[in-house]
Amino acid sequence: MGHLQPPPSPQSQPLAPASRPQPPILAVESVTKHYRRGSERIVALTDLSFSIDAPEVVAIAGPSGSGKSTLLNLLARFDVPDSGEVRLDGQDLASISPAALDEFRNRKLGFVFQQFNLLPVLSALENVELALAPQALSRAQRRERAIAMLERVGMGYRLAHKPGELSGGQQQRVAIARALVGRPRFVIADEPTGNLDSKTAAEILQLISELNQTMQTTFVIATHDPRVMQLANSVIELADGQRIG
Ligand SMILES: Nc1ncnc2c1ncn2[C@@H]1O[C@H](COP(=O)(O)OP(=O)(O)OP(=O)(O)O)[C@@H](O)[C@H]1O
Ligand SMILES: [Mg+2]
């Protein structure tokens, strides 16, 4: 008796997890990056900021040399900014130790390139399976997931074909399957339509848009292609390393 505590006031109760504000999916804050070539100092990005709060298709637009690939390299933690921060899901990428980088990229990121970059000696299926190698899955599970992902991108009928036996658009579909099979939060794409004719480019963009919605994957796409900018939910426009839109 006499030890009863007064009930805690509502203000002192811990916040329920659901009401805790979520960090942005991607936050780029006052990022500056320069390169040095001998005595020359090349400023590639100056005081760049933007953030993405929902799984979106984000276009990074701007002329050649404006800093698009530099930005993608920072997002993939291939490089770190001189100043400012890049955070994915609230994690400052500069804080990831070199030993933890492979694990970070395997878990969070997928990559799509202009040249597709599939391994020429492997079949479509083997290229996609290979992306699951770091995961603790049986061979059968890897195969099953790779086939399901290839079916999802419309390539279920070309599993045994090697990249050289596929059209450019088909290779890019396989590359997209490879990027997404591990269900990353982010796919980073540098000019994914740059090597495709206009009709095929439109089909690939349609596929990216569908996958963004059905898999809740954020796509960050560096591009000159006005169709990508039309389709994107956000456009970050760069000129000489600065944000102009
Ligand atoms: N490793 C490097 N060393 C020195 N300068 C670099 C390096 N990488 C890029 N740059 C310079 O930084 C600037 C931005 O280059 P970046 O590759 O990011 O442009 P981009 O927008 O991707 O161009 P593109 O559309 O041609 O791919 C350019 O002036 C470029 O010459
Ligand atoms: Mg580039």
What the block records as the tokens of 121 is 């000696």
- The ligand whose atoms approach the alpha carbon of 238 most closely is 1
- Would the CB of 193 count as within 6 Å of ligand 1? no
Residues near 104 by Cβ (< 8 Å), separated by ≥ 6? 77, 93, 96
Residues near 8 by Cβ (< 8 Å), separated by ≥ 6? none
Would you call 107 helix, strand, or coil by DSSP?
Answer: helix
- Would the CB of 70 count as within 6 Å of ligand 1? yes
In-domain check, residue 149: yes
In-domain check, residue 231: yes
In-domain check, residue 179: yes
Q: Which residues pair with 41 in a beta bridge?
A: 36
- Would the CB of 194 count as within 6 Å of ligand 1? no
We report the CATH number of the domain holding residue 146 as 3.40.50.300
- Would the CB of 68 count as within 6 Å of ligand 1? yes
- pLDDT for res 21: 79
In-domain check, residue 24: no
In-domain check, residue 201: yes
In-domain check, residue 182: yes
Q: Which domain holds residue 196?
A: 55-69+96-237
In-domain check, residue 80: no
- Would the CB of 114 count as within 6 Å of ligand 1? no
Ligand 1 pocket test, candidate residues 34, 40, 42, 60, most atoms within 8 A of CB:
42
- pLDDT for res 188: 97
Q: How many domains does the chain have?
A: 1
The string over 165-191, giving b where at least 16 C-beta atoms fall within 10 Å of a residue's C-beta and e elsewhere, is: ebebbbbbbbbbbbbbbbebbbbbbbb
- Would the CB of 20 count as within 6 Å of ligand 1? no
How far is the centre of ligand 2, averaged over its atoms, from the C-alpha of 221 (Å)? Answer: 11
In order along its 245 residues, the chain shows pLDDT tens digits of: 545 565 555 555 555 666 677 899 999 999 999 999 999 999 999 999 999 999 999 999 999 999 999 999 999 999 999 999 999 999 999 999 999 999 999 999 999 999 999 999 999 999 999 999 989 999 999 999 999 999 999 999 999 999 999 999 999 999 999 999 999 999 999 999 999 999 999 999 999 999 999 999 999 999 999 999 999 999 999 999 999 99
Q: At what angle do helices 139-152 and 168-180 cross, to 10 degrees?
A: 130
Q: List the beta strands (DSSP E) in 53-106.
A: 57-61, 83-88, 91-92
- Would the CB of 37 count as within 6 Å of ligand 1? yes
Ligand 1 pocket test, candidate residues 35, 220, 242, most atoms within 8 A of CB:
35
How far is the centre of ligand 1, averaged over its atoms, from the C-alpha of 86 (Å)? Answer: 19
